[in-house]
Structure 1
């Protein structure tokens, strides 16, 4: 049924790979209950996702055409887990320059795809939540501070999971019981302790500061590695890097934090206005 479809797609110059995934049972969630999934990866980024459904009157199939950029985004951010199943379980029918086979091998060698960027993204979110919580705490706005403390620990748990090469799940605290009981205990103390909320928050922020300090060098490694490729960067140039764009609004906050910790240096570059300077950023290399 699908042979003419994938043969047509394989003949297009932008097509990188064509894979077919069959269901294992009638209600198989991997194939969204379809009998077969035709998974096509293309270099054309103008339309990131295209989907079509087919039937021969008895069986049903879905075709998903995904751009290489969209695929990379899903693998790095981890928001579409079935994509990994499709890549691993899919039968390759067309593979330009062994694109799918090389990607399968990378997933085999690196089960947690993009571990470095995932650590950086979680640390950046954690630092923001921690700072917001501390400000509320110092203003004695304890309920607002409590919410930020919950978020801080949530990002910490995800960071710890990634550090241990485990993809964070929605049930991340169940994961923490096994991966890092100390982090789980910190969360338990915050939500269950009979201590006054002020004391609980003080403990969480003190511990969070310790974890942030310990994880900064490793979690910032991805960003620092990209920045090492040029002598200096404007903030716009950093935003335009595909992988750094995944940090979204946390990128600038993270860079300012790393500058404060003397891992990134700020250079002042003259502008057209003699009273103002542009800011450029470069990593402080080990001497």
Structure 2
């Protein structure tokens, strides 16, 4: 099949904007990795006009997909973790073309996982964790147990990813298989939530109690990037300045809820300043 695909990827490799080409073969144990296709061709290019371009091929009942991705889009996926299959593709893919060892260096970078990138990813996972946890707790207090269950499962997933990232490992698609060996305590919580024979209310009640400690114990690591940004520029921030700070843009809609959590844990102080209105104050923020 590689011979059949050669004209397709050689055409792309001849372009001066192409940085590398990978071939990924379907795993017999996990057809979802390649979206049920037999082969995936991943082409990374400098072209910013079309961040993602896809074509499908078939030959004698064998399916292949070509994905052309800009370097900028690829880096965004890796940072945000928004396309986890790409990590697997880079890990396991066979290099068919490599301009100036771009693909080999990218593979090595994923294995080494630079610490600065880890801090941002940990911050993003922690913010999502806090959002899911707080929403789940609110549903639980209103006795909406199924909605609470949905949110707490997601919060545990973010907690697991946070732990994996802190250990210097890229989270894979099979995140629970990873965390089972890295942090069994988190895996055990997940098992108790899903498989326990206790009532759903009781399972959730116990899990919220246990999660409170686990989340707090990871607060320093999970908020390091956020706090460093706050301390690096302004002494006092408005909420608008925080939301428009380029280094914090990845926190998106979760920024506000994480900020309130940090205030509750006394890692951020609220600074009040009088307005023209009687007993109405501007609310500013300062890292302690």
Normalised by the length of structure 1, the TM-score is 0.71
Distance in 2 of aligned mates of 1:160 and 1:215: 8
Q: Do the aligned residues in 2 keep the contact of 1:37 with 1:63 (CA within 8 Å)?
A: yes
Summarize the Cα distance change of 1:203–1:91 in structure 2 as closer, same or farther, 3 Å threshold: same
For the pair 1:255 / 2:256, whether they are aligned, the reply is no
1:246 to 237, 247, 250: 250
Cα offset, 1:259, TM superposition: 2.5
Q: Do the aligned residues in 1 keep the contact of 2:44 with 2:71 (CA within 8 Å)?
A: no
Greater alpha carbon shift after TM alignment, 250-259 vs 190-199: 190-199
For the pair 1:145 / 2:148, whether they are aligned, the reply is yes
What is the match of residue 196 of structure 2?
A: 193
Summarize the Cα distance change of 1:33–1:170 in structure 2 as closer, same or farther, 3 Å threshold: closer
What is the match of residue 212 of structure 2?
A: 209
Distance in 1 of aligned mates of 2:25 and 2:136: 47
- Structure 1 counterpart SS, 2:218: helix
What is the match of residue 222 of structure 1?
A: 225
For the pair 1:155 / 2:158, whether they are aligned, the reply is yes
- Structure 2 counterpart SS, 1:125: helix
Deviations 1:111-158 (A, max 9, x none): 899322332222222222222232233334444433333333233223
Q: Do the aligned residues in 1 keep the contact of 2:161 with 2:175 (CA within 8 Å)?
A: yes
- Structure 1 counterpart SS, 2:232: coil
For the pair 1:72 / 2:56, whether they are aligned, the reply is no
Cα offset, 1:217, TM superposition: 0.5
Q: How many residues are matched?
A: 271
Cα offset, 1:251, TM superposition: 1.7
For the pair 1:40 / 2:44, whether they are aligned, the reply is yes
Distance in 2 of aligned mates of 1:30 and 1:144: 32
1:274 to 263, 267, 276: 276
Distance in 2 of aligned mates of 1:42 and 1:254: 35
Q: Do the aligned residues in 2 keep the contact of 1:75 with 1:84 (CA within 8 Å)?
A: no
Cα offset, 1:169, TM superposition: 4.2
Q: Extract unaligned runs of 5+ from structure 2.
A: 1-6
- Structure 2 counterpart SS, 1:175: helix
For the pair 1:283 / 2:283, whether they are aligned, the reply is no
What is the match of residue 90 of structure 1?
A: 95
Q: Do the aligned residues in 2 keep the contact of 1:50 with 1:64 (CA within 8 Å)?
A: yes
Structure with the higher fraction of residues in helix conformation:
2
Q: Extract unaligned runs of 5+ from structure 1.
A: none
